[in-house]
Structure 1
Amino acid sequence: MVKCLANPGTEEGGQERHLQDNEGKEEREIGTDIGPRAEVEGKLHYYLKNVHFKNNLDEEIFFNENRDLNTGYNIINLVYLPNGVLHREIVGSYNPYASQGQNFIINEKAIVWESTFTQTPPQAKCSESCPPGFRKLTRQSVPICCFDCIPCPQGEISNQSDMDNCVKCREDHWPNHKRDTCIPKLIIFLSYEEALGIVLTTSCIFFSLINAIILGIFIHYRDTPIVRANNRHISYILLISLMICFLCSLMFIGRPEPVTCILRHTTFGMTFSISLSSILAKTITVVMAFHATKPGSKLRKWMGSRISYTIILSCSLFQFILCLIWLFSAPPFPYYNMQSEIGAILIECNEGSMIAFYCVLGFLGFLASISFITAFLSRNLPESFNEAKYITFSMLVFCSVWITFIPTYLSTRGKYMVAVEIFAIQASSAGLLGCIFMSKCRIILLRPDMNSRKSITKNN
């Protein structure tokens, strides 16, 4: 049995209190005879207020302004010895006026519990304690000491036992597996080290090398009829722009930074506009070249490279102005998306102005549509001007890729959205490269007999 008793102090202190009590009695008796009760209490409080002494533990004993004894209490363990003698053992103390951490002291190892207890120390609850990571849920129509332990909900923790409520982690933190502490969220982005990033980087470098080889072949065989017949300078511009398109997909891989976010979509928009305007210029050149050969055609004076360069320059300049408006109004910037992935922070590039972003993409779609329609209408030209057929197939592949890209992009989340965008850039660029130039490279390298003026004019 454990009891709390006031510190008795010394015998002298006890005698002094006894004297003060006797004096208090005398005052009460006198007060009863000579005046009302309030006067007696006032005199009694006067004497109590003057009680002030030290016991043998050098503790000051006095009454405070609330008339409470300003002293602590000993916690005594009552132990019945086998011979029946009652032994009192001090096992702790309680002093409400002591400093924080020293007001309650107890030595649990010194406590002797009754042998009738089946558990020591005895439990005062009908339910086991809820460990960290759980919270208490009280049961209805049962004592308050009975409760259930339920795990903390998602995004919350409890770092102490028997917590009534869980604590929500900060926005950039997440509970650990035990849900007893908050840890920083995992930062994710499409990196060069992971398998998906390695595959996309390898494919980008591979297509860029193929593009560079084709450009080298066209430069080396620049004086051959098949290269000259298809406006070789525009072919050079198209090949260089396609190579930049492949390489710009590398900017989509890695941790997004302010510079890379700005260059990602603007470089992509500019290079694709140059590619598509070059294809449009080649298609218009093919149509004009065919009609200019007819007797009395007025298109003969428009033949030459000036009209092609004008188309490329005007389309690219218009796209450049759109990109400038985009950058000066609301440029792209790195964005820490904390809601997309559970327990992780996704770093992605926010487009900034969505209107400007869709204007850039819309202009690319406009160029692709005009190029496709023009090439499709001129697909039945004579064999010597058969580049319109290849342009038709290339634009069909290009439009198919980007039409498929839109629902796929909207249905993915996180870093896989970036991977889908990179795939669309590489697939559409590879479609343009393969459909327009691979057949010409086959003739240049494997069928040199067909790369002659006589062979070209033979089928005209």
Structure 2
Amino acid sequence: MTLTPSVVTKNYQHILALAFAVKEINENPELLPNVTLGFHIYDSYFIARGTYHGTMLLSSTPERFVPNYKCDLQNNLIAVIGGLDPLTSLHMATVLDIYKIPQHCDRNLENMKGHEEFGNTDNLYRWTWIGLLTMDLENGERFVQMVVPMFSSSGICFAFIERVPKLTLDTELKDVLQQCAKIHDKVMGSTANVLVAYGESYSMVFVRWFPYLSEQEYMAINPKGLVWIMTAQMELTSMVYQRTWDTQIIHGALSFAIPSNKVPGFHQFLEHINPSTTKGDYFIRDFWQQAFACVFPSTVAGEVDGDVCTGEEKLAVLPEPFFEMSMTGHSYSIYNAVYAVAHAVHSMFSSRGRHQRMVDQSLHHILRGISFNNSAGDKISFNVKGEIDSGYDVINWIVSSNQSFHKVKVGRMDPQHPSEQMFTINEDALTWHSWFNQTRPLSVCSESCRPGSSKKVKEGKPFCCYDCIPCPEGKISDQKDVNDCYICLDQTYPNKKRDFCILKDVSFLSYEEPLGISLAFFALSFSVVTALVLGTFLKHHDTPIVIANNRGLTYTLLISLLLCFLCALLFIDRPKKVTCLLRQAVFAIIFSVAVSCVLAKTMTVVLAFMATKPGSKIRKWLGKRLSSSIVLCCSLIQAGTCATWLATSPPFPDTDMHSVTEEILLECNEGSVTMLYIALGYLGFLAIISFTVAFFARRLPDSFNEAKFITFSMLVFCSVWLSFVPTYLSTKGKYMVAVEIFSMLASSGGLLGCIFSPKCYIILLRPELNNREQLMRKNERTK
């Protein structure tokens, strides 16, 4: 079974718009005076062969079809108005270009300029998951190839792309219904709520095949509404057999429309149209029968089955899908095209006379430069491409409960405006499909990822379908639907929700915080104690306990310990170039002097005991020269190490942005960490030697033998610095500095306490033990 030939009744207005424009021009004494315009209209039947045939008829003798030959010179063809659809105009141009005949093809129908504005609409309403419906034609495929990459670049992807079969007289109805049923199931089964439709002027005839059920039946089977977005050439058209079909499917649709205006006299012209008063119109009887669902008795043999056409029916009673009384955008374009040709011919006749050869050669050029105001008050002119830059209206399609249909202008797309003003839409004026309960529809494959997360595309799915994953540690996202989280600037760090960055605090060991104050207090306290011990020893410098253990070494040791305590102050407060340069090197050198003094004291005790043996040659090594040499040599080695360090890779103030998430660490970069550990390792080396020697000398019979106290002091020293290394490496910022200061104070305090507290006890609290007689008596008891 094939489709019964039917007239697309709505298109009949285009014929009437053409006739009305010609009528006005012929009645206007100021435009083409003494010239009568005529016209021929041929139906293309929406097929290429019908278009080619009709085009050849335009350029040949009416009585006899002879291609490329026309003998009636009084009715030469001067211009052609193309068809509604791009392919029709394209087929006509193939033939007419040969004869240089001007053609008006409405650029809204012919090119695809402006379709990228769909992307703006989709982004405006979060329509990123849409369907695409096109006619199964060449220009439909070209539209698909154009918009798919364009929409993808705007973050929009397609749930499906379906192609509606082409309508021809040879189309099998069963095949059409089967394909439409499959497309319907695909559309309604999709999660996309927005459907972009690109088709020919008659495409809505096929769209209305989707449901040909009542609204109740349709919603029971398909509990879902759609937002249709349609291109400019698509109109709501119906065939006679679709008169009672429901139109709720397109309620709330949006479409681009060719701008139109109210043309004076056109409505009255339509009111007087009927088959009896219209002469030479071979379309009106077919239109009348299809539009009013009646039959003229003269067109059928036998009895009439159904209503009889009287010819007195009124166009105004027809529903809009069949006919509109106001001039549509397509009819308005035809109306303006006729006037453009008339003004061009008038201009040419006025300047050059009526010579036909001039008309054929110059009409193209004059049309491009023509400019006039039509009867509706609109200025009509062409750009350099021969196009009318009128832009588009955005129309909202409203279907009432009684199936009446009307269009509401809700926006505008004008390429003449700046990009930020090119597309405007009044959201408050929009009416959506009832399924959305008048709330703004959403059409997304996946819900938006909130700030603090990022999108992860689902494998095998379009990029619009994704899962939301939390930002990894150290990264944030402060917007919805980001593809990847990003790292905060160096001066900031992520909050707990990882949706914004917080300014980092600047951190260094300061005198204004409890930790800095405490360490400074202990450093000064130890310094004062050391100074008091030194004062005590100076005051009692002639006593045996002071003399017995080399006063020079004792004073040097106390002074070096005093300076070691004061060195701790170089590590507190904001790092500066001078403090960074000096603090490690100065402490390493001063503390090496202290440990060297301890080593020299130990060596002196051992050698002194060995020298008491008969015939010992060690006696000649005793004296200040040995102890001074030990201190000087050991200290110079450390000084040389530090000098090399400062000369090759000196420390400097630095900023650590990354070690601690929430803080900017102001610190001293040690330059060469290797040299730092060499200097500290050397101190450890001296301490181990001192500990070893003192350990073996701890039981020597001497009343004032310091070896046992030195052993304890070196044990404390080694314990402190052995625990210092891992603790130092595991901390950052001011706490790392605090660990080093604590190690300095603890090791220096260990030397001070273990070596000098017994001496101070005797000097200050037991002075009776600090005499030579007591010393000799004790030595005798020991022996």
TM-score strictly above 0.5:
yes
Q: Does 1:19 align with 2:271?
A: no
Indicate if the aligned counterparts of 1:256 and 1:334 stay in contact, CA closer than 8 A.
yes
CA shift for structure 1 position 362:
2.9
8 Å contact from structure 1 (residues 409, 421) kept in 2:
yes
Structure 1 position 373, deviation (Å): 2.5
Is the Cα contact below 8 Å between 2:396 and 2:431 reproduced in 1? yes
Q: 1:329 aligns with which of 648, 654, 660?
A: 648
Tell me which residue corresponds to 1:268: 587
- TM-score, length basis structure 1: 0.83
Partner secondary structure for residue 549 of structure 2? coil
Moved more, 235-244 or 130-139: 130-139
User: 1:276 Cα shift?
Assistant: 0.8
Amino acid at match of 1:3: S
Equivalent residue runs for 1:52-451 within 5 Å:
52=371, 62-64=381-383, 68-79=387-398, 88-118=407-437, 120-125=439-444, 127-139=446-458, 147-293=466-612, 297-451=616-770
Q: Distance in 1 between matches of 2:372 and 2:761?
A: 113
Alpha-carbon spacing, 1:122–1:298, altered in 2? closer, same or farther (3 Å): same
Please identify the structure whose Cα radius of gyration is greater: 2
Superposition RMSD in Å: 3.7
Contact conserved, 2:336 with 2:374, CA < 8 A, in 1?
Answer: no
Contact 1:192 1:198 in 2 (8 A): yes
Q: Cα offset for 1:231? A: 1.7
Task: Look up the equivalent residue of 2:339 and give its one-letter code.
Answer: L
More displaced stretch, 94-103 vs 284-293: 284-293
Query: Deviation of residue 450 (structure 1)?
Result: 0.7
Q: Distance in 2 between matches of 1:95 and 1:205?
A: 80
- Residue 102 of structure 1, CA deviation: 1.2
Structure 1: unaligned runs, 5 residues or longer: 26-33, 35-39
Residues 241 and 134 of structure 1, relative CA distance in 2, 3 Å threshold? same
Structure 1 residue 7 and structure 2 residue 259: aligned?
A: yes
Maintained 8 Å contact 1:10/1:55: no
Q: 1:277 offset after TM fit, Å?
A: 1.1
The unaligned stretches of length 5 or more in structure 2 are 1-251, 265-331, 346-355
- 1:443 Cα deviation after fit: 1.0
Is contact 2:665–2:733 with CA below 8 Å preserved after alignment? yes
Between Structure 1 and Structure 2, which shows a larger proportion of helix residues?
A: 1
> CA offsets per residue over residues 217-262 of structure 1, 9 Å max, x none?
2222222221122222221211121122122223333333332222
Question: C-alpha distance in 2, partners of 1:60/1:180?
Answer: 54
Q: Report the CA distance shift for 1:66/1:134 in structure 2 as closer, same or farther (over 3 A).
A: farther
CA contact (8 A) 2:490 2:658 kept: no
1 CA distance for matches of 2:418 and 2:621?
99
In structure 1, C-alpha distance between the alignment counterparts of 2:570 and 2:372, rounded to whole Å: 83
Helix, strand or coil: the match of 1:437?
helix
Contact 2:659 2:732 in 1 (8 A): yes
Check whether the contact 1:409–1:417 (CA below 8 A) recurs between aligned residues: yes
TM-score calculated relative to the size of structure 2: 0.51
Shift of 1:433: 0.8
**Does the residue aligned with 2:394 lie in a helix, a strand or coil?**
strand
SS of 1:162's partner is: coil
Q: CA deviation at 1:291?
A: 4.1
CA pair 217-59 structure 1, distance change in 2 beyond 3 A: farther
Distance 1:152 1:73 in 2: 43
CA shift for structure 1 position 438: 0.5
In 2, distance between residues paired with 1:248 and 1:385? 31
Alpha-carbon distance in structure 2 between the residues aligned to 1:63 and 1:345? 65
Alpha-carbon shift at residue 67 of structure 1 (Å): 5.3
After superposition, the Cα gap between the structure-2 partners of 1:393 and 1:116, relative to the gap in structure 1 and judged at 3 Å, is closer
Q: Secondary structure at the match of 1:383?
A: coil
Cα deviation 1:385-436 (Å, max 9, x = unaligned): 4112211221122122222323333344454333332222222111111110
Q: How many residues align?
A: 449
In 1, Cα distance between the equivalents of 2:650 and 2:377?
75
1:401/1:162 CA distance change after superposition, 3 Å: closer
State the distance in 2 between where 1:191 and 1:159 align: 34
1:428 and 1:187 map into 2 onto residues whose CA distance is: 30
Q: Distance in 2 between matches of 1:373 and 1:380?
A: 13
Provide closer, same or farther for how the CA distance between residues 102 and 167 of structure 1 changes in structure 2, counting only shifts above 3 A. farther
